[in-house]
A and B are shown apart, each in its own frame.
Chain A
Amino acid sequence: MSLELKNVEKKVGIETHIYSTNLKLKKNTINVLLGSTLAGKTTLMQIMAGLDKPTSGEIWFNGENVTGKEVQKRNCSMVYQQFINYPNFSVFENIASPLKITGVKPDEIKQRVGKVAELLKLSPMLNKKPDELSGGQQQRTALARALVKDSDLILLDEPLANLDFKLREELREELPKLFEDRDCIVVYATTEPLDALMIGGNTATLLEGNVIQYGKTLDVYSKPENLISAKVFSDPPMNIAEISKSGEIFKIKENSVQWKSNVKIKDGNYKIGIRPHNITTYKEGNNSVEINGKVLISELSGSESLIHFTNGKLNWVSLSNGIQQKNIGEDTKLFMNIDEFLYFDANNRLVTNG
């Protein structure tokens, strides 16, 4: 089983929503589409589902060209950011609805709904109506509806975006397990890099209608093909600087910070990308370089501290563990873990990841 997009392009009027895209999703995989709003995630999913037709290009499913085949005739299901359920059906009837339409026998419906409800912890509320449930439970119902069908393709369009923090965490942990033993292709769209990392599988980074990179999630994260992919897959935003290398000496152009390293690249000019968690208020790793900064903003996020600081023309973000109290305007010392630097050439392509 596989889903393949061949040169798929989508134009609406004079605007291009999806630029020519090739993507091959394999059987039993979870695939994350990672990109900000308007990157084309939803459009891509709708094309995969058959809700929308590509302007050009083909979609192949299991070796069959399904371009233009109606969504009703395909075996797929979709979960949306909004909690979409039939408003006057009970949870049971909601989950059973796709089965009823395809004419499954009542006994089997009951058994299959029961099983899925158990999996999604919905058993106690099978008789309730969607508007009597919490947001998390409503979304679980929508997920159950998608799972009960045994679809070949399950599309999840930012399913956690409308949930509050705790419910999101909880469901995010459960999601990969739900799809573990399923014979299907799962596509999961999200704006959050953390979602992609937690779900694992494969990730495609998207920007403005282009698929930038597709591969195993961890590979895409640690070896982004280019600077754009690295930026998409970084939250808080990646810190970037221009450097020059000569011999063992690496020097940031915007200020005079320099260090020695035996990274094997030719002498010349490069760009470096540093993820915020590789700049910390304490030394981390074996090779760290000191950088001074003037604190712009210091904020706490759970048990982590975000410090925005400037150094020369640079305007960077650091992410440290624990609560690090800094005052605005304070001069502070930070440490960059040089083993984690990403080096890009003049064309923004990755040269090495340290």
Chain B
Amino acid sequence: MNKTLNPKAWYFVIPVFALVAFNAVVPLMTVVNYSFQETFGSNVFQWEGTRWFKEILHSERFHASLGRQFIFTFIILLIQLPLGIAIALTMPKKGWGVPVCLILMSMPLLIPWNVVGAMWNIFALPDIGFLGNSLNSIGFDYNFTQQSGDAWFTTILMDVWHWTSLVVLLSYAGLNSIQPAYYQAAEIDGASRWDIFRYIELPKMKKVLTLAILLRFMDSFMIYTEPFVLTGGGPGNATNFLSLDLVKMALGQFDLGPAAAMSLIYFLIVLLMCWVFYSLMMKDEGRT
């Protein structure tokens, strides 16, 4: 086949290229730049090599926030996936209930993240918040601003409220794509409700669930806004997740070098997890 050579095509590519360079490559390179140097005022820099990276990797503070982050993400996935699937299974498949459920389910997803944080902050206040006040009045000693367990509980509850819908919507889409004939065939075989779930619905939802895990992992791993507004990482450092810690280091203490190194390590962890998920998904794709 003869390809026509037309350099004009580049004119269409260059703007995009410039845009991507401007909003992704340039800032990233700035961060890379900071991570290898000590920064003083008035644009004075001093080469530090890999010092900041070593420091971060050996820092207990980083280990602690990374650990918190993994625990948080793990708990989130553990709750949201089964809960999301369970809700999707109970949602109606036809009739007026469908739009009602879909709208109700999408609501939390449409609320700006800092509003979610603020809402839950007020909702959970031990003296005037509905949740906090109710818990205290029925005998729980609940105060999320002072007790780390309560802070974790509230943060997790907030995230479950905010994001389970995403899993629900994805699972619901997956369930709806199963042809009715599958259910009939299973019925004829005499399969139980559990069999149908285990051997038809779950395998058929595999793809959307992988996607749900990926999205929920990424989002919860990079969570910032909601806990920032809700707890600010407190009490103490109890809910100080990676991104919160990073911002504190960069903008609170103005340790640009270590913060830049931490950003890159954070970025690499996310990238690595992305790659792991991607290859897991592609492994199945390649088989067919």
Q: How far is the CB of A132 from chain B (nearest CB, A)?
A: 7
Query: Contact flags (1/0) for A70-84 with B, using CB distance below 8 Å?
Result: 011000111011101
Q: Establish whether residues B187 and A131, one from each chain, have CB atoms under 8 Å apart when the complex forms.
A: no
Chain B CB within 8 A of A19 CB? no
Q: Establish whether residues A84 and B203, one from each chain, have CB atoms under 8 Å apart when the complex forms.
A: no
Q: Establish whether residues A84 and B187, one from each chain, have CB atoms under 8 Å apart when the complex forms.
A: no
Chain B CB within 8 A of A97 CB? yes
Residue positions of B touching A, CB distance < 8 A:
179, 181-182, 184-185, 187-191, 195, 199-200, 203-204, 287-288
Most central of A76, A81, A88 by chain B CB within 10 Å:
A88
Chain B CB within 8 A of A179 CB? no
Within 8 Å by CB of B185, from A46, A78, A132, lies: A78
Within 8 Å by CB of B182, from A77, A84, A131, lies: A84
Within 8 Å by CB of B288, from A76, A98, A101, A131, lies: A131
Q: Establish whether residues B199 and A89, one from each chain, have CB atoms under 8 Å apart when the complex forms.
A: yes
Most central of B181, B191, B195 by chain A CB within 10 Å:
B181
Q: Contacts of A89 on B, CB cut-off 8 Å?
A: 199
Q: Contacts of A131 on B, CB cut-off 8 Å?
A: 287-288
Interface of A is mostly: mixed
| In the complex, residue of chain A having the shortest beta-carbon distance to the beta carbon of B202 | A88
Q: Which 8 interchain pairs have the tightest Cβ spacing?
A: A88-B203, A87-B203, A80-B181, A72-B190, A84-B185, A98-B189, A101-B190, A86-B199
Chain B CB within 8 A of A49 CB? yes
For this complex, 6 residue pairs linking A to B, each with C-beta atoms less than 8 Å apart, are A46-B184, A78-B184, A82-B181, A97-B191, A98-B189, A131-B288
Cα distance, A97 to B190, chains bound together (Å): 10
Q: Contacts of A303 on B, CB cut-off 8 Å?
A: none
Beyond the given A87-B203, A102-B190, could you list 7 further A-B residue pairs with CB under 8 A, ordered by the A residue number?
A49-B188, A51-B188, A80-B184, A84-B181, A97-B191, A132-B287, A132-B288
Query: Contact flags (1/0) for A117-137 with B, using CB distance below 8 Å?
Result: 000000000000001100000
| In the complex, residue of chain A having the shortest beta-carbon distance to the beta carbon of B185 | A84
Q: How far is the CB of A84 from chain B (nearest CB, A)?
A: 5
Q: Contacts of A132 on B, CB cut-off 8 Å?
A: 287-288
Within 8 Å by CB of B200, from A46, A51, A77, A86, lies: A86
Q: Contacts of B191 on A, CB cut-off 8 Å?
A: 97, 101
Q: Establish whether residues A51 and B199, one from each chain, have CB atoms under 8 Å apart when the complex forms.
A: no
Query: Quick one: which of A1-54 are within 8 Å of B by CB?
Result: 46, 49, 51
Cα distance, A131 to B179, chains bound together (Å): 16
Cα distance, A269 to B187, chains bound together (Å): 54
Q: Contacts of A51 on B, CB cut-off 8 Å?
A: 184, 187-188
Cα distance, A257 to B191, chains bound together (Å): 64
Cα distance, A78 to B188, chains bound together (Å): 8
Q: Contacts of A101 on B, CB cut-off 8 Å?
A: 189-191, 195
Q: Contacts of B185 on A, CB cut-off 8 Å?
A: 78, 80, 84
Query: Contact flags (1/0) for A276-304 with B, using CB distance below 8 Å?
Result: 00000000000000000000000000000
